[in-house]
Amino acid sequence: MNLTRTFVFALLSSSLMSTPALAVDAENGKKLYSERCGGCHDTKVHTRPNRIIHTYEDLVNRVRFCDNAAKANLTENDIYDVSEYLNATYYKFLKVKGNG
Ligand code: HEC
């Protein structure tokens, strides 16, 4: 009955949360970043005190913006891989919407 249902729901949601929704690959992001994101800034920009990124969404948007600026030709998947790498390494935002 009710209790069982709650239990099953808890089980389901915890297993969903431990599995990335998309096959986001931070290792690939790291590789892409080191291959395509040089020239204008290094990774110090991601730890500066007055950084311009305050949410995971900001981060994804900034990666898109810089992808254009860098003419790095990242695919939609790459954008998320690079965002994941930067987030896991520097920003540590909670992904509230789970869109990564
Ligand atoms: C054409 C130059 C250029 C290239 C190449 C470039 N960026 Fe940037 N990036 C910038 C500038 C300019 C800023 C803002 C720096 C500032 O405000 O001082 C920035 C800032 C950022 C920030 C925010 C830093 C913060 O404040 O926390 C991120 C994230 C970022 N870049 C990611 C990338 C990624 C990912 C790539 C490769 C796809 C890349 N950048 C390549 C110009 C570039």
Q: Report which residue type is found at 91.
A: Y
Q: Is 17 a member of any domain?
A: no
Q: Is 14 a member of any domain?
A: no
Q: Is 61 a member of any domain?
A: yes
Q: Which residue range forms the structural domain that includes residue 59?
A: 24-100
Say if ligand 1 is within 6 A of residue 63 CB. yes
Task: Give pLDDT tens digits for 40-76.
Answer: 999 999 999 998 999 999 999 999 999 999 999 999 9
- Give how many domains the chain has, as a whole number: 1
* Beta-carbon contacts of residue 24 (< 8 Å; ≥ 6 apart): 80, 81, 84, 100
Report the atom number in ligand 1 closest to the C-alpha of 74.
38
Distance 2 CA to ligand 1 centre (A): 51
Look up the pTM and report it: 0.81
Q: Is 4 a member of any domain?
A: no
Report the atom number in ligand 1 closest to the C-alpha of 82.
35
* Beta-carbon contacts of residue 80 (< 8 Å; ≥ 6 apart): 22, 24, 29, 60, 100
Q: Is 43 a member of any domain?
A: yes
Q: Is 88 a member of any domain?
A: yes
Q: Is 3 a member of any domain?
A: no
CATH of the domain at 70: 1.10.760
DSSP assignment string, 76-89: HHHHHHHHHHHIII
* Beta-carbon contacts of residue 27 (< 8 Å; ≥ 6 apart): 85
